[in-house]
Amino acid sequence: MPRAFTLEQLLFSQGFGTRKRCRILVLNGAVTIAGAEVDDPEAAAPNTPGTVFTVEGETWHYHPVAYLMLNKPAGYECSQKPKSHPPVYDLLPVPLRERNKGSVQAVGRLDQDTTGLLLLSDDGKFIHRMTSPKHEVGKVYEVTTAEPVTSAQVARLLAGVVLGDDPDPVAASACMATSEYSLSLTLTSGKYHQVKRMLAAAGNHVKALHRSRIGQLSLPADLREGEWRWLSADDLKKLDQAA
């Protein structure tokens, strides 16, 4: 059995502020466990995954570690210190942004104008596993191009193109034209503006870029732009299969 937290500790672990603020929330009657109001900060609160509690009327589930997916819209930077656009973390509720002193971070980065599937977590080993080239986790990008896609361009992307900062060619692990002005591209490594630079090296240019899949995990059709959700056990299994 997992050891019990006090209610104050449970709230603190989930990002609801300092211990003092968490204590005040409980004392003010703003917290319920299993539907019952609890006003004792020292009351036992089991830290079992899925434990349901409410804070100021909003329902939450206890998660010892944060594993999230987000459908990233354009116009957001995957940085804690953005330069010219708001951070993607603004799309998360405050407790997720503040839990573990702000340690929830994007698993890899998408450019501000790139949309689609973005993972976030506060599990360093998970982040490393998903982003390290040696694990070869495929990321699938749907590319809208400025010029018609040719078979020669697809062949070059599969064979490998040289980017300016590295003499070694970088190749897509899969690539196919999906229409006259679009293609699907799979990468297992991540470099700065990599898709855009690869398309330019192959003789075309990116007009729009969307990440649709990481490993075996696809962006759910019902997750709208700007929305997030917890990764399910099945989602995590699909990612484990890829790594």
Positions marked catalytic: 111
As separate numbers, helices (DSSP H) first and strands (DSSP E) second, the chain gives 7, 17
What pairs with residue 219 in β-bridges? none
The bridge status of strand 58-61 relative to strand 4-6 is unpaired
| Residue 131 one-letter amino acid | T
| Residue 65 one-letter amino acid | V
Distance between CA 235 and CA 222 in Å, rounded? 15
Please tell me whether residue 63 adopts helix, strand or coil conformation: coil
The bridge status of strand 105-106 relative to strand 67-72 is unpaired
For residue 34, give both structure tokens.
Answer: 């299993």
Alpha helices per DSSP H over the chain: 7-13, 19-27, 94-98, 124-131, 151-159, 194-202, 233-242
> Which residues neighbour 9 within 8 Å (Cβ) at sequence distance 6 or greater?
45
